[in-house]
Amino acid sequence: MSKRKQQEIDNFIYMKEETKNRETIDELMKKKKNKEREKRIKQNNQKRNEDKFDLETETVIQMTNKNKIKKQEQEKRQAMQLERKRKKRNKKIKAIIKIVMLILIIGGGIVFTMTSPVFNIKDIKVLNNSQIPSETIISLSGLTTDQNIFRFSSSNVAEKIKENPYIESVNIHRKIPNTIEIEVQEREHTYNVSYMGKYAYINTQGYILEISEDSKAKPIIYGTSTGEEEITPGKRLNNDDLEKLEDVIRISNVAKENNIYDKITSIDISNKNDYIIYMEQEQKNVHLGDNTNMSNKMLYVSAILEQEKEHAGDIYVNGDLNNKFQPYFREKLSN
C-alpha cells in the first residue's frame, strides 16, 4: 500500500473518530444543557412553590390576624354591651329604690297629715259674701273645727254651698296648717218677677233666688210665661222669658245712660213687640215697642219726661223712628 493511500486511510479514520468524538461532545453538551435546563426548571418550580408557600403562609397569617382582630373587636363590643346593660340595670335599680323611697316618704307624710292634730281646722273664713251670712255658708259646707284639714273633698263642699241659689261659684282654699277660706261669688238680686202676689227675686241670668213679699225697690217684671210650679229658688226662667230678659237688660242699660233707670217701677214683657215700662213716681207708662232703636227711643222718653213732668199719662215711642214716626205723650184724663 502506498504511503499516500495509507495517509488517506488514516485521515479517514481520524475524521471518522473526530466526527464521532464531535458527536459525542455535542451529545454531551446537549445532555448538559438538558440537565441545566431541567435544573433551572426544577429551581424555578421550587422557587414558585416557595413563593406560593410564602404567599399562602402570608395569606393565612393575614387571615389569622384579621380573625384575631375581629374576635378582639367582637369581644370588646360584647364587653361594652355588657357594661351598658350593667349600667342600665344599676340605673333602673336606683330609680326603683328612689321611687320606693319617695312612696314611703309620701305615704308617711300622708299618714302624718291625715292623723296629726296639727292639721285640725281651727278657723273657717268666708270671703266676698254680702247677701248670705257667713254662718249660713259654713253650715252649708258641712265643715267643722277640729276636723282634719285634708279629710274632705273641696268639690263636694263647693256643691253643698251652691245649693243656696244666691251662690254662683265657690273656691275652697286650705291655709296650712289649720285654716279654711271659703271664697264665694254671689248672684245679685236685680229684678223681681210677679208671683202669686209676691215677688220672685231673679238675677240677670234668670236664676230664681228667693220668694219674698218685699220687692226691695227692684223693678218688677210682669207678663212672664214661666209656670208658677217652675218658680222655685235655684231654677231659671223658661227660654222665652230668658230671651225677653235680655231685652229688659238692654232697656235697663240704656235707661241708666239717660239717668232714668231709677224711675222705673215695673216692666211688662207680655208682648215683645211692645214692651211697657211704668214709672210710679212720674205717673207715666212708656210704650217702647220692640227692642230696636232703643237709644233714640230713650232719648225721646227722657225729653218727654222733662217736658211733661207735671202730668200723668202715657209716652209712646213704639213706632218706627226711621219712618217719620213722631213720639208723643198722651195725658191721662182725670176722673
pLDDT tens readout for residues 201-226: 999 999 999 999 999 999 999 999 99
Q: Residues with Cβ < 8 Å from 194, sequence gap 6 or more? A: 200, 220, 221, 222, 224
Cell of 31: 445532555
Distance, in Å, from the CA atom of 190 to the CA atom of 179, rounded to the nearest integer, reads 34
Distance between start and end Cα atoms, the chain: 215
- Determine contact, residues 288/318, Cβ cutoff 8 Å: yes
pLDDT value at position 299?
95
pLDDT tens-place string over residues 87-127: 888 888 888 988 888 888 887 777 766 667 888 999 999 99
pLDDT, position 89 = 87
| Separation between Cα atoms, residue 84 and residue 189, nearest integer Å | 71
pLDDT band at 289 (very low <50, low <70, confident <90, very high): very high
pLDDT at residue 272, as a whole number:
94
CATH number of 191-331, picked from 3.40.50.11690, 3.40.50.300, 1.10.10.10, 3.30.200.20: 3.40.50.11690
Q: What is the widest separation between alpha-carbon atoms in the chain?
A: 215
Separation of alpha carbons 280 and 284, rounded Å: 7
- pLDDT of 10-27, one tens digit each? 666 656 666 665 656 666
C-beta atoms surrounding 76 within 10 Å: 10
Q: How far apart, in whole angstroms, are the C-alpha atoms of residue 130 and residue 159?
A: 19
Alpha helices (H) in the chain, listed in sequence order: 3-115, 134-141, 154-161, 239-257, 294-307
Q: Round to whole Å and give the CA distance between 15 and 21.
A: 9
User: Is pLDDT larger for residue 41 or for residue 128?
Assistant: 128
Is 157 in contact with 143 (CB distance < 8 Å)? yes
Look at 108-117, 132-141, 240-249 and tell me which has the smallest mean pLDDT.
108-117
Q: 334 vs 149, which has greater pLDDT?
A: 149
Spell out the CATH class of 118-186: alpha beta
Confidence check: pLDDT of 335 > 60: no
pLDDT of residue 105: 81
- The kind and range of the H/E element at 313 are strand 313-316
Quote the CA–CA distance of 244 and 224 in Å, as a whole number: 9
At how many degrees (to 10) do helices 294-307 and 239-257 cross?
Answer: 60
Nine-digit cell string for 251? 232697656
Residue that is written with C-alpha cell 202730668 in the block: 311
